Amino acid sequence: MNANNTGQKNAHVVWQVMSITRDERERLQGHRSFMVWFTGLSGSGKSTMIYAVEEQLYRLGYRTFALDGDHVRRGLCADLGFSHSDRSENIRRVGEAAKLLTQAGVIVLAAFISPFKADRQKVRNLMAAGDFIEVFCDCPLAVCEARDVKGLYKKAREGEIRDFTGISSPYEKPDHPDLVLETAKKSVEECTGMVMAKIKSRLQFADLGKADLAEL
């Protein structure tokens, strides 16, 4: 689909201004909304981290939603494969979905390999300034492959899976991530604490915040 066709298909779409603003939704819930994007190789601990962080936020009374690559591939992106273009489209769709959730006042925790810098930057560009926090789960390929929690590396080595990130398809590390988690060296608890410390200042309003925030 080229740009001209896209423009023709969207020519009669009119932006509808919402009667309830994002700021109003955030104040109703008592906290800011934003997205924390976890990137890294398969097996680097991304999914483990989003659920650990979500559990902590949930216990403190924050509205959250976790977006996991495998779950999205079963629904929203079930029609996509793993070619470069399909991977990019997968991330584009996730970014748009996450943007809608943040506009609803929800804290979004996203775990996606998202191997290409350009795709991650496009998602960052969708968000307002300060609403995209990139967390790089930095774990050596050898460690990820030794874990092989889904048996995917073995299949990739045997040629059963094509275009597998880290084996037959590249992973472009972030140049300037907002946070780096060395998941092969630090425990889940330590990494969770690092993420919570990073997002603490973004959780509350200057004049309104959760009472339990001081415990972080």
Decide if pLDDT at 210 tops 80. Answer: no
pLDDT at 9 over 90: no
For residue 14, what pLDDT band results from cuts at 50, 70 and 90?
low
Which position has the higher pLDDT, 6 or 61?
61
Predicted structure pTM score: 0.85
Task: Give the residue from 55, 98, 104, 103 showing the smallest Cα distance to 76.
Answer: 98
Per the model's pLDDT, the better-predicted residue between 76 and 7 turns out to be 76
For residue 27, the model assigns a pLDDT of: 87
pLDDT surpasses 90 at 211 = no
Spell out the CATH class of 23-201: alpha beta
What element of type H or E holds 192?
Answer: helix 188-203
When pLDDT is averaged across residues 10-32 and rounded to a whole number, the result is 77
Q: Tell me the C-alpha distance between 185 and 210, whole Å.
A: 32
Across 172-180, average pLDDT = 96
Q: Which residues are catalytic?
A: 114
How many Cα atoms are found within 13 Å in the side-chain-facing hemisphere of 68? 14
Mean of per-residue pLDDT scores for the chain: 88
Confidence of residue 4 (pLDDT cuts 50, 70, 90): very low
Strand partners, 181: 137
pLDDT digits (tens, 9 = 90+) for 93-125: 999 999 999 999 999 999 999 999 999 999 999
- Which pLDDT band, with edges at 50, 70 and 90, does 5 fall under? very low
* Three-class DSSP category at 67: strand
Q: How high is the pLDDT of residue 1? A: 37
